[in-house]
Chain A
Amino acid sequence: MMRTGHTANAATPAPHAAGLVLLVQDLTRAVILSGAAGLVLLLFALGTAQLVNEARAVDNLSFEDIFPSPGEVYDAWELHQDRLLADHIPETLWETLAGLAMAVVLGVLIAGLMDFSPLLRWVLYPVLVVSQTIPIFAIAILLILIFGFGSGPKITVVVLFCFFPVALSTFSGLQSTDPELLSLLRAMGGNSFQLWTKARLPAAMPSFFAGLRIAATYSVVGAIFGEYITAQVGLGVFLKRSYSSFRLDQAYLAIILTAVLSLLLVLLVGLIERLALRWYYTSRRRSWRGPGIY
C-alpha cells in the first residue's frame, strides 16, 4: 500500500491517524469488490440450479427426444424433403433475398443522405439507432396487421434486421475517404458529383461489403423469425409446427437447413465481393489471409 500522496499536506492530522484512514479506505474497497464478485458467483450458482431443477421437473420428453440421433434427423429430411424443397425453402429464400436486396438499397440510400448533408446526418442517426432498439417482435405483429399473412411482413422484418449494418458501414466508408484525395480531385477541376462517383463511392466499397456480410448473416434468421410469428409456408413455420408437435428431429432439421442457407448466402456475398473488389484483394494478396469459412 503505497498511498502516501496526501499525508504530506500540512492540514492533515498526525501521520499515524492518516494511516488509519487509508487502512479503512482500503478495507472498504476490498469488502465492496469481494462482495460484488461473490454476488456474481451466487447468481451464477442460483441460475444454474434453476436450470437443472426445471430440466429435471419436465419429464414428458426423454433424452432421446430432446437430442435425436443424426439418423433420425436424416429420416425427417427423407420424410419431408418434397414439401421442404417445393414450398418451405423457396418461400424462405424469396423472403430473405427480397428483404436483403431492399435492405441494401435502403441502407446505401440512408448512408448517402447522411454523408451528403450534416443536417440529415443529425436527423437520421438517432432514428437509425432507435429503430434498432424497438423489439422486432412488436413491429412484426404490427406488420401482420398492415400487410396480412403473406410474404410482406417477413420481407419487412428482414429489411429491419439488415439495413442497419449496411447503412452504418457504408456511411463510415464514405466518411473515411482520404481527404487529400478529394482535394486532389477538386484541384483537378472535379465537381461534387464527380468526387462522389470517382472517389467516395469506390472508397466506401470495402466497408459496404463488410456490412453486407453481416446483413447476409442476419437475413435468413430474420425471415425465419418473421415466419415463426405467423405464416403458412416457410422454414420458420415448419420449425414452429415441429416444436408444437414435439418433433424435435424435425426442429433440428429446420435449424440445420437455416444454417446451411445462411452459410450459402454469406459465401455468395463473399464471392461477389471478391469479384467486385478485385483491386482490394489483389493489392493485399501477400498480407491478406482469408477468414476461413468465408
Chain B
Amino acid sequence: MEQNACIEVRGVSKTFRDGGRSVHALDDISFSACSGEFVTFIGPSGSGKSTLFNLITGLSEPDTGDILIGGQAVGRRTGLVGYMPQRDLLLPWRSVLNNVILGPELDGQSRRAARQQARELLPLFGLEGFEHAYPDTLSGGMRQRAALLRTFLTGREVLLLDEPFGALDALTRRELQRWLLDVWQRFRKTILFITHDVEEAVFLADRVLVFSARPGRIVTTLEVDLPRPRRSLSLMSDDLRRLEADLLSALEAGNGA
C-alpha cells in the first residue's frame, strides 16, 4: 500500500513532433512524491507539464529516463494512476452515478459494488440528490466535483489533476480548493496538481515544482511549510504572501525575465 503511493520520476526528457517541427518539451525532469503528499506544478504555458502527465499515465513514453510508480516502471502501461484532465470529460450519455464508477467498470469490477461505494461518497462530493442527473444539466463546479469523484473512485494511490479548477469562477474555485484539501486529507492520496495560479499552487501544496519555459525544466522546488489544515487564508496570510512572492520571482527567473 505504502509502496503504491510513491511516484518517482528520474531524468525524464521528451521531444515530440508537431507538424514536422520537433518540440523539446521536457528536459531532465526528476522528482519524487510519496505517501499522501500534495505536489503542485506551476510554469508558463507550454512548459511541458501536461506532457509530463501524459508520460506518467503511460499514454506516451519518455525518450530518456524512467518513471516508477510503486517501484514499477510505467513504460506504456496505462491505468496505474488516477487522471483528471483540464476538461471534466464526463460522458454526456451517463448519469452522474454511472459516470463516477467508470474507473472500477474499466477494471472489470462489479458495477453494483462500485455504485454502492459511489453512493456513500456522493454527500462528501456535494452530489447527493444528483446521482441520476445528466452532466449537461449540472453547474461547472458540480461537474468538476463529479470528475474528481470519478478520479478518486479509480482507487489508485497517485492522482494526477491537470488544472481541474482552471475554468471556474474565483469564488467557486476558492471553495473547491478548500474542499479538495478536506477530501485529500481524508483519503491520503498522493496528488500531483498542475495550476497556473500562484496562490492556488501555494495554498494547496506541500511542495511546489516550478517549471521553466520550453524546454521544461524544474527550476526551483519550494517547500510550503504552512500548517494544515489550511481552512482560513487570513490566519496565515503573511506566510502565504511571502511564499507567493518567492514563487513569482522563481517563475520570472525560469521564464528568462
Residue in A188, A190, A280, A282 with the greatest tally of chain B CB atoms within 10 Å: A188
Q: Mask for B190-219, Cβ within 8 A of A = 1, else 0? A: 000000000000000000000000000000
Is B89 a contact partner of A181 (Cβ separation < 8 A)? yes
Residues in chain B near residue A282, CB distance under 8 A: 134, 136-137
User: In this assembly, does B18 line the interface, its C-beta being within 8 Å of a C-beta of chain A?
Assistant: no
Give residues of chain A (54-106) contacting chain B, Cβ–Cβ below 8 Å. none
Q: A279-B93, A283-B92 are in contact. Are A188 and B83 (CB under 8 A)?
A: yes
Residue of B nearest to A191 (CB): B106
User: In this assembly, does A189 line the interface, its C-beta being within 8 Å of a C-beta of chain B?
Assistant: yes
Is A189 a contact partner of B87 (Cβ separation < 8 A)? no
Minimum distance in angstroms from B72 CB to a CB of chain A: 14
Residues in chain A near residue B87, CB distance under 8 A: 180
User: In this assembly, does B79 line the interface, its C-beta being within 8 Å of a C-beta of chain A?
Assistant: yes
Residue in A184, A185, A205, A284 with the greatest tally of chain B CB atoms within 10 Å: A184
Q: Mask for B153-182, Cβ within 8 A of A = 1, else 0? A: 010000000000000000000000000000
Q: What CA separation (Å) do A277 and B92 show in the bound complex?
A: 10
Q: What CA separation (Å) do A184 and B92 show in the bound complex?
A: 14
Residues in chain B near residue A184, CB distance under 8 A: 83, 85, 89
User: In this assembly, does A8 line the interface, its C-beta being within 8 Å of a C-beta of chain B?
Assistant: no
Q: What CA separation (Å) do A280 and B135 show in the bound complex?
A: 11
Chain B residues with a Cβ closer than 8 Å to the other chain, count:
25
Give residues of chain A (167-208) contacting chain B, Cβ–Cβ below 8 Å. 178, 180-181, 183-190, 194, 198-199, 202-203, 205
- The A interface, classified by DSSP as helix, strand, loop or mixed, is helix
User: In this assembly, does B102 line the interface, its C-beta being within 8 Å of a C-beta of chain A?
Assistant: yes
Q: A188-B106, A189-B79, A283-B136 are in contact. Are A180 and B89 (CB under 8 A)?
A: yes
Is A189 a contact partner of B91 (Cβ separation < 8 A)? no
Minimum distance in angstroms from B38 CB to a CB of chain A: 21
Q: What CA separation (Å) do A181 and B106 show in the bound complex?
A: 14
Is A279 a contact partner of B102 (Cβ separation < 8 A)? no
Residues in chain A near residue B120, CB distance under 8 A: none
Q: What CA separation (Å) do A180 and B91 show in the bound complex?
A: 12
Q: Mask for B128-153, Cβ within 8 A of A = 1, else 0? A: 00000011110000000000000000
Is A205 a contact partner of B93 (Cβ separation < 8 A)? yes
Is A188 a contact partner of B78 (Cβ separation < 8 A)? yes
Is B57 a contact partner of A187 (Cβ separation < 8 A)? yes
User: In this assembly, does B59 line the interface, its C-beta being within 8 Å of a C-beta of chain A?
Assistant: yes
Residues in chain A near residue B136, CB distance under 8 A: 279, 282-284
Is B83 a contact partner of A283 (Cβ separation < 8 A)? no
Q: In the complex, which of the residues B79, B94, B105 contacts A187, with contact meaning CB atoms closer than 8 Å?
A: B79
Q: What CA separation (Å) do A199 and B92 show in the bound complex?
A: 10
User: In this assembly, does B58 line the interface, its C-beta being within 8 Å of a C-beta of chain A?
Assistant: yes
Residues in chain A near residue B107, CB distance under 8 A: 189
Q: In the complex, which of the residues A178, A183, A189, A277 contacts B106, with contact meaning CB atoms closer than 8 Å?
A: A189
Residue of B nearest to A284 (CB): B136
Is A188 a contact partner of B137 (Cβ separation < 8 A)? no
Is A280 a contact partner of B93 (Cβ separation < 8 A)? yes
Minimum distance in angstroms from B209 CB to a CB of chain A: 21
Is B83 a contact partner of A194 (Cβ separation < 8 A)? no
Residue of A nearest to B106 (CB): A190
Q: Which 7 A-B pairs have the closest CB atoms?
A: A189-B79, A283-B136, A187-B57, A279-B93, A187-B83, A190-B106, A202-B93
Extra contacts, 20 of them, besides A194-B106, A283-B136 (Cβ < 8 A), are: A181-B89, A181-B91, A184-B83, A185-B102, A186-B59, A187-B57, A187-B58, A187-B83, A188-B79, A188-B154, A189-B78, A189-B80, A198-B105, A198-B106, A199-B91, A277-B93, A279-B92, A279-B93, A279-B94, A280-B93
Of the A-B pairs whose beta carbons lie under 8 Å apart in the complex, a sample of 28, sorted by A's number, is A180-B87, A181-B89, A181-B91, A183-B85, A184-B83, A184-B85, A184-B89, A185-B102, A185-B106, A186-B59, A186-B78, A187-B57, A187-B59, A187-B83, A188-B83, A188-B102, A188-B106, A189-B78, A189-B79, A189-B80, A190-B78, A190-B79, A198-B91, A198-B106, A202-B93, A205-B93, A279-B94, A284-B136
The chain B residues found within 8 Å of chain A, CB to CB, are 57-59, 78-80, 82-83, 85, 87, 89, 91-94, 102-103, 105-107, 134-137, 154
The chain A residues found within 8 Å of chain B, CB to CB, are 178, 180-181, 183-190, 194, 198-199, 202-203, 205, 277, 279-280, 282-284
